[in-house]
Amino acid sequence: MYKQFYQGMTLEELPLFALVLFVAVFLGVCAWLFGARRSQDYDGLSRMPLSERGEGGHE
């Protein structure tokens, strides 16, 4: 099936380019998400469930 689909295609490199682009964007998002500068944000968020301020339900 794939052979027939790609047989008439003039841009054989397109699937490879799409894969490389996807992997690059995925790794970029992971690097941004787990970057050292964002660790301060996560530290504050990790303490939220234990804080006494939000104990009474919804604010």
pLDDT band of residue 37 (cuts 50, 70, 90) is confident
CA atoms of 43 and 56, how far apart (whole Å): 22
pLDDT at position 26 is 97
Cβ atoms of residues 41 and 35 within 8 Å? no
pLDDT at position 57 is 47
pLDDT at position 59 is 46
- Please tell me the pTM assigned to this model: 0.51
